[in-house]
Structure 1
Amino acid sequence: MTAPPSAAAAPSLLRQRAFVCFLGSRVLSVTAYQMQTVAIGWQIYEITGSALDLGLVGLVQFVPFVTLSLLVGHFADGYDRRTVVRLCQAGMCVLALALAAGTASGAIGRGLMFTVLLAIGTARTFEIPTMHALLPCLVPAAVLPRAIAASASANQAATICGPALGGLIYVLGPTVVYGTCVGLFAVAATLASLIPSVVRTAPRQKLTLASLMAGLVYLRGQPVLLGVVTLDLVVVLFGGVTALLPIFARDILGTGPWGLGLLRAAPALGALTVTAVLARRAPDGRLGLKLFASTALFGAATIVFALSTWLALSLFALAVLGAADAMSVVIRQGLIQTRTPNEVLGRVMAVNSMFTGTTGTLGDFRAGAVAAVTGPVVSAMIGGVGAIALTLAWMRLVPPLARIERFAAGDPPEAEKV
């Protein structure tokens, strides 16, 4: 296999074919998934009118992350990561087709939608950590922090466009949304197959308990990385409000599917602003303190959103929330990907994905379950206060994390054209 080009030979990330194919594949996949999520959330709420069912949307997708993540790491380190990504995206294409066919025929119902959601969760359980483990193989180490930020920026752009498009196209019916997703997933899988053979994977190992646990064992010996992963786990578990957005859109802010699309897109707009800057110049200095500040701001913005009854203020609060989360993501991913050897990176990213993915979906369930008892405003308030309290707790529990200055790969390079 060919090694990635040197930093000197590729001053621009967008001139590297492997990275461009990777970026296109990720953007289209995320766009389709976000469009699909808006349609599913609105459709389930129309069918059942239940806040608890909105929480169950997260819980159903939580199950694969918990049960399969360690197995995913084994595949990400022992098999061609491009192939794993391509197969996941092809599978989601088929699932979107099933949703379109079921809706068009009138056969769609609560049971079928949750079954498809379980399958979608399984595909994303394999896709997400494999994508993250794939990226460091495509660019020189010196520009990896910028590549992470650029990838996050593109991801957030897709997260903006996806919900907005999903909400707008939903006016034509959910079948049209799902049909559009079929095409996007198909193109994403095609782009993944076009990534050049610069991917370095570890020698294939037998599937053993030791192999499955390698990521956890590595993190256990790295207190700073373990602190990074667990901080995200607890903050997202308590601070997530995504599952409540259909309720806020319809019952508190008085909007329709278009309003839900805007609410879903607002965090990504804030995140895009931050990551677009970081893609040109990676964060430098006091990374630990910046990480803690971003999670505390995430909690504060959640509180403002919970108390707002004005759509403009709600959108602003969600944009700030997204900006804070984006800063946290770039710092966390940069620390993990620059401090982990490639031969175990897939398994470490699988553990990270298990924590971040499960807390996102489990956090949705927490929000929906609490909202069913206390109402959506109190549920969101609890999340925001909890995020701030847990940030303060982690500063005391993991003091070395607050003292981190730079990524392990060295000082970030001077600002370069992306």
Structure 2
Amino acid sequence: MTTSPESDQPVSAYALLKRRDYMLFWSTRVASTLGVQIQSVALGWQVYEVARRTMSVAESAFYVGMIGLATFIPVLLLALPAGEAADRHDRKRILQLCYLGEIASVLILLAATVFDFASLPLLLGVAVLFGASRAYMGPAGTALGPMLVPRSLLPRAIAWNSLAWQGGSIIGPALGGALVSVSLGTAYATTCALYLIAVLTVSLIAGNTQPEVQPGSRWALIKEGLGYVWRNKIVFGAISLDLFAVLLGGATALLPVYARDILHVGPEGFGILRAGPAIGATLVAIWLAANPIRTKAGVFMFTGVAIFALATIVFGLSEVFWLSVVALAVLGGADMLSVYVRQTLVQIVTPDQMRGRVAAVSSLFIGASNELGEFRTGVAARFLGAVGAAVTGGVAALLVTGLWAKLFPALRKADRLE
């Protein structure tokens, strides 16, 4: 076992267990991730179900994609102010308010389901509220984690954070599918309970969560954060690669279509498909938590994105349930590899007083890749069909990988993650 001269703390996979505040933070991530995943499964299924009452498969798929757009709009508008807030105000308090916002959104869904007044405008409106909470939660959560561990443990903490997210992403969709098969109301009530747990655990963090406030106006601080990201080509290249690869290649928005009308596996199979990417991602995250990448970081990142694109193509073409699940698992594992490298690179090189603003830019890019990517997929499915949308997206993501390897040689040649 080695020690860090900076902190004199053992650098091992178990050192984080001795950090009470970090473990509370980690527990918060687990509970909130489970809630987000169950809510996403239930909302996607409900939107598709409501739309199919009066619309075709292609039109209904478009509305499922609209969930992504509705969630992304507030992220687009609020991400940069949220990053400035995370560098100026108590990060724990911001997370508490975000979880209360998520509780409000799921209570609306629960009431609409129980009293049978759910409609597409209402469901998409709730997605906007949910997106507003996530706009502030991303920068605050990303910036809070590094405050709770010494720098020597940061790579392992990032892997553990990813493990919390991916573990919840495995259990959440599968549990969500099972709960939806019972009733949508049961799924939403469970989500509400998980958000309450998240509020409680984050409230128990006792350490200092107030960042060192930087001088200057709000807009000056936002401009400073944007300038830092633009000048640091490794940071900019890493987050923009993730943006375009997932924006073009993401196919998870099509899972309700594949589950119901292509693979014919119903809500239970839908939950398994949703869990597929997280299964692969969790296996990779467990390995990374015990064996952090030390060298050839850029090579690992580009390899992960390329495999992600190829697995997306296989999934798009598959008409066999087990092959689709395997392709999704490979896709998730490859994405986990690239995400781990990106997050570690960005957080290690970014000073604490700027982490909120840099995380806000990263959250904006991630939001564009995930939520706006769902919208892109829904539009593509409207004109190309679900299979055409998935396959062309995978091909486009593969082309982007090659282009970024040429445009950002510093990222491609990035070596040590220490």
- Which of 338, 343, 354 lines up with 1:333 in the alignment? 343
Contact 1:6/1:140 (8 A) holds in 2:
no
- Which of 45, 49, 52 lines up with 1:46 in the alignment? 49
- Which of 350, 371, 380 lines up with 1:370 in the alignment? 380
SS at match of 1:199: coil
Letter of the 2:193 counterpart? G
- Which of 325, 350, 368 lines up with 1:358 in the alignment? 368
Residue deviations 1:304-330 (CA, integer Å, cap 9, x gap): 001100000000000000000001111
Question: Distance in 2 between the 1:188 and 1:36 partners?
Answer: 15
Contact 1:54/1:243 (8 A) holds in 2:
yes
Question: Distance in 2 between the 1:362 and 1:278 partners?
Answer: 29
Contact 1:159/1:268 (8 A) holds in 2:
yes
* 1:390 and 2:392 matched: no
Question: Distance in 2 between the 1:19 and 1:133 partners?
Answer: 13
- Which of 12, 16, 24 lines up with 1:13 in the alignment? 16
Percent same amino acid at aligned positions?
Answer: 40
Residue deviations 1:157-206 (CA, integer Å, cap 9, x gap): 00111111111011221011111111110110111111122435121555
- What does residue 122 of structure 2 align with? 112
SS at match of 1:164: helix
Provide TM-score, normalisation by structure 2: 0.94
Contact 2:84/2:218 (8 A) holds in 1:
no
Q: 1:213 Cα shift?
A: 1.9
- Which of 277, 288, 304 lines up with 2:298 in the alignment? 288
- What does residue 259 of structure 1 align with? 269
Q: 1:5 Cα shift?
A: 6.8
- What does residue 27 of structure 1 align with? 30
Structure 2, unaligned stretches of length 5 or more? 1-5, 53-59
Q: 1:32 Cα shift?
A: 0.5
1:2-401 to structure 2, matched below 5 A, reads 6-8=8-10, 12-49=15-52, 50-199=60-209, 201-203=211-213, 205=215, 207-401=217-411
SS at match of 1:213: helix
Q: 1:263 to 1:16 in 2, by over 3 A?
A: same
Q: 1:9 Cα shift?
A: 9.6
Q: 1:219 Cα shift?
A: 0.9
Question: Distance in 2 between the 1:105 and 1:206 partners?
Answer: 50
Question: Distance in 1 between the 2:204 and 2:224 partners?
Answer: 30
Question: Distance in 1 between the 2:215 and 2:93 partners?
Answer: 17
Question: Distance in 1 between the 2:215 and 2:140 partners?
Answer: 17
Question: Distance in 1 between the 2:116 and 2:343 partners?
Answer: 43
Q: 1:392 Cα shift?
A: 0.3
- What does residue 415 of structure 1 align with? none
Provide TM-score, normalisation by structure 1: 0.94
Residue deviations 1:61-84 (CA, integer Å, cap 9, x gap): 110111111100111000111111
Q: 1:281 Cα shift?
A: 1.9
Contact 1:14/1:20 (8 A) holds in 2:
yes
Letter of the 2:358 counterpart? V
Question: Distance in 1 between the 2:406 and 2:199 partners?
Answer: 44
- What does residue 416 of structure 1 align with? none
Contact 1:79/1:204 (8 A) holds in 2:
no
Answer with 7-16 or 359-368: which moved more: 7-16
Q: 1:105 Cα shift?
A: 0.7
Question: Distance in 2 between the 1:97 and 1:204 partners?
Answer: 37
SS at match of 1:38: helix
Residue deviations 1:274-322 (CA, integer Å, cap 9, x gap): 0001111211210001100000000000000011000000000000000
Letter of the 2:51 counterpart? T
Contact 2:214/2:353 (8 A) holds in 1:
no
Letter of the 2:9 counterpart? A
- What does residue 413 of structure 1 align with? none
Residue deviations 1:115-159 (CA, integer Å, cap 9, x gap): 111000000111122111111111111111111001101110001
Answer with 163-172 or 6-15: which moved more: 6-15
- What does residue 414 of structure 1 align with? none
What's the Cα RMSD here? 1.4
Contact 1:70/1:213 (8 A) holds in 2:
no
Letter of the 2:38 counterpart? M
Letter of the 2:133 counterpart? A
Question: Distance in 2 between the 1:386 and 1:328 partners?
Answer: 17
Answer with 97-106 or 306-315: which moved more: 97-106
Q: 1:208 Cα shift?
A: 3.0
